[in-house]
Structure 1
Amino acid sequence: MVQDAEANAEADKKFEELVAARNTADGMVHAARKTLEEAGEHATDDERAAIEAAITEVEERSRAMMPLRWRPPRPS
């Protein structure tokens, strides 16, 4: 069991880093949407479209970066 934990330590660390990055991205998306909703009338249509496109890109990359469920590596 200890050997399995040691063998998977690197994968676990990478998974934790991906979770942290995805959570950060989700927080940034939420903040950008809220700001756009609250102050969007001060932006031009082009600016608003660019912000919405950036939000969509971050969401897509965040989802692609990591599957929704963690799957442990298969034993060799």
Structure 2
Amino acid sequence: IRQLARDFNVYVPDLVFFGESYSSKSDRTVGFQAKCVCDGLKKLRVYKFSVYAISYGGFVGYRMAEVYDDMVEKLV
């Protein structure tokens, strides 16, 4: 992350129900995760971005690219 942060603004979300994140909603779908990440980025006034994701985050990244194609420029 440190190397990427030299050239990019890096955001590392703690996906809901992973780490310290939680929600009172019972929805645990990839679509819910994608919405939460994109809503969070909008609150930070980030409207265009590239997604680098691995493992479960990769599924979330694919859904973000599918549903929020106006925001996601690249998916790695």
Classify the TM-score, shorter chain: under 0.3
Larger RCO, structures 1/2 (Cα 8 Å, 6+ apart) = 1
- Give the structure with the higher percent strand: 2
| TM-score, normalising length: structure 1 | 0.26
- Give the structure with the higher percent helix: 1
Higher Rg of the two aligned structures:
1
